Amino acid sequence: MVVSSPHRPGRGIGTVWRVGVTVVSILLVESLVCGLALLPAVLSWVWLFTWIAPDLLLRAFVISLLIVPSYVVFALCLMTLSAIAARVTGARTPPDVETRIADFEWPLMTWARYMVATHLVRVLAGSLFRGSPIWTAYLRLNGARIGRRVYVNTLFISDHNLLEFGDDVVIGGDVHLSGHTVEGGIMKTGRVRLGPNVTVGLGSVIDIDTDVGQNCQIGAMSLVPKHTTLDANGVYAGVPVTRLR
C-alpha cells in the first residue's frame, strides 16, 4: 500500500502548480480527442455538401439522414481515441494507493485525468454501446483485463485498469463497480477481480480490493464490501452479501 506523504506547510505553490498542469493537460488532451473524433463526420459532411445542389430542402433532408450515422461514427472514434490517449499520456488509476484529496498530489492528479476521459466516453458514447461487445472492447482498450464473451451492461464502472474479469462474465444493469473509494477525505484504490463465469445482478455494488471466485452468482441489489473474497461456486446476496448455498 502506497500512502501519500503527510501534509507539510508551505505547499500551496506546489498544489497550485499540480492542479494547473492537470487542468491544462485535460483541456488540451480532451479537446484534441474530441476534435479528432468529430473529424470523419465533419469531413464527410463537407464532401457531400460540395456535391449537393444548393437547395435548402435537399440539404435539410441529407442532414436529417446523416445525423444518426455521424453520431455513431463520432462515438466509435471517441472511444478508440480516448483509450489510446489515456494509454499514451499515462492517465491511469494508481493501484493500492491512499492519498489525501486536499493535498492534490500527483497520484490523485493522474487519477483525475483518467476519470475525466472515462466520464466523457460514458456520457457521449456509453449509452449507445453498453452491454455490447463494442463496450467490452472499449473497456479492454482502456486498461481493463477482460476475458472472452464478457458483457458489461452498466455505465457505472470506472478505474478500468484495476479491473480483471475472467471469461463469460456478465454484469447486469446499473451495477456500480470501481477501483476507488473515498473515506474521510482519503482516496483509496484497490483491484477488483471477477473469476470466470461470474454473474452480477442488476443494481449491485462491488467495492475495492475484492476477489470473486469462478462460477459465482451475486444477486440483485447486493453489496460486496471492500477487502472481500467470495469463494467459488456460490450464490451470494444481501447487504453485505452472504452465501445462500
Per-residue pLDDT tens over the stretch 182-226: 999 999 999 999 999 999 999 999 999 999 999 999 999 999 999
Q: Which residues pair with 172 in a beta bridge?
A: none
Q: Where are the domains of the chain?
A: 11-243
For residues 165 and 171, what is the distance between their CA atoms, to the nearest angstrom? 10
- Residue 53's pLDDT is 66
For residues 181 and 81, what is the distance between their CA atoms, to the nearest angstrom? 27
Residue 136, SS3 per DSSP? helix
Architecture of domain 11-243: 3 Solenoid (2.160)
Residues 113-169: pLDDT tens digits?
999 999 999 999 999 999 999 999 999 999 999 999 999 999 999 999 999 999 999
Q: How much is the pTM? A: 0.90
Strands (E), the chain: 2-3, 97-100, 145-146, 151-152, 163-165, 170-171, 176-177, 180-183, 186-189, 192-194, 199-200, 205-206, 210-212, 217-218, 223-224, 229-230, 235-237, 242-243
| Banded model confidence at residue 52, pLDDT cuts 50, 70, 90 | confident
Which of the 8 DSSP states describes residue 233? Answer: S
Mean predicted lDDT score pLDDT of the chain: 92
Name the nearest CA neighbour of 195 among 245, 233, 153: 233
